[in-house]
């Protein structure tokens, strides 16, 4: 299925700062685009124009929100690297498979824990705190 060899944990970690840098640049570009878009269309009066402008703006904002999420995920992953916890499931502590990390380098949970979903994970965390 995947002809490319998997990256090692070290290689995945080494790529993280570059990925953060790239997403930061993309995010700034989108924010500039939004400012320019608003500036260019300030005071549009035609109802059809307004509607098209709003659709464009919503698309840019959607992109910005997506980039913010990606940036946050990378920052969290870099935090895990700093704590030497990268590649280990934050919920159960097992090593996350290299295949999973190659598919999603910012994965914080093993596939088993991920498939329980957030509520189940939070419930378990609460239980362990109360125990």
Residues in contact with Zn ion by CB under 5 A are 89, 91-92, 110, 113
Q: How far is the CB of 109 from Zn ion (least distance, A)?
A: 5
Nearer to Zn ion, 77 or 110 (CB): 110
For residues 71 and 100, which CB has a smaller minimum distance to Zn ion in the complex?
100
Q: Nearer to Zn ion by C-beta: 17 or 93?
A: 93
Give start and end residues of each alpha helix (H) in the chain.
9-40, 47-82, 98-103, 111-130
Pairwise CA distance, residues 49 & 39, whole Å: 14
CA-based angle 59:63:68, to the nearest 5? 145
Quote the least distance from Cβ 98 to Zn ion, whole Å. Answer: 15
**Is 109:89 a contact under the CB 8 Å cutoff?**
yes
* Minimal distance, residue 71 CB to Zn ion, in Å: 24
């Amino acid at each position: 299925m995947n002809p490319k060899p998997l990256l090692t944990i070290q290689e995945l970690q080494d790529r993280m700062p570059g990925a953060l840098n790239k997403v930061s640049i993309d995010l700034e570009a989108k924010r500039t685009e939004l400012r320019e878009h608003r500036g260019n269309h300030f005071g549009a009066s035609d109802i059809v124009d307004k509607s098209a402008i709003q659709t464009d703006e919503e698309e840019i904002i959607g992109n910005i929100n997506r980039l913010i999420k990606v940036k946050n995920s990378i920052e969290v992953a870099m935090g895990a690297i700093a704590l030497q916890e990268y590649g280990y499931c934050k919920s159960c502590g097992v090593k996350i498979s290299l295949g999973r990390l190659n598919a999603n380098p910012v994965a914080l949970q093993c596939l088993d824990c991920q498939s329980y979903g957030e509520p189940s994970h939070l419930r378990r965390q609460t239980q362990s705190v109360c125990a």
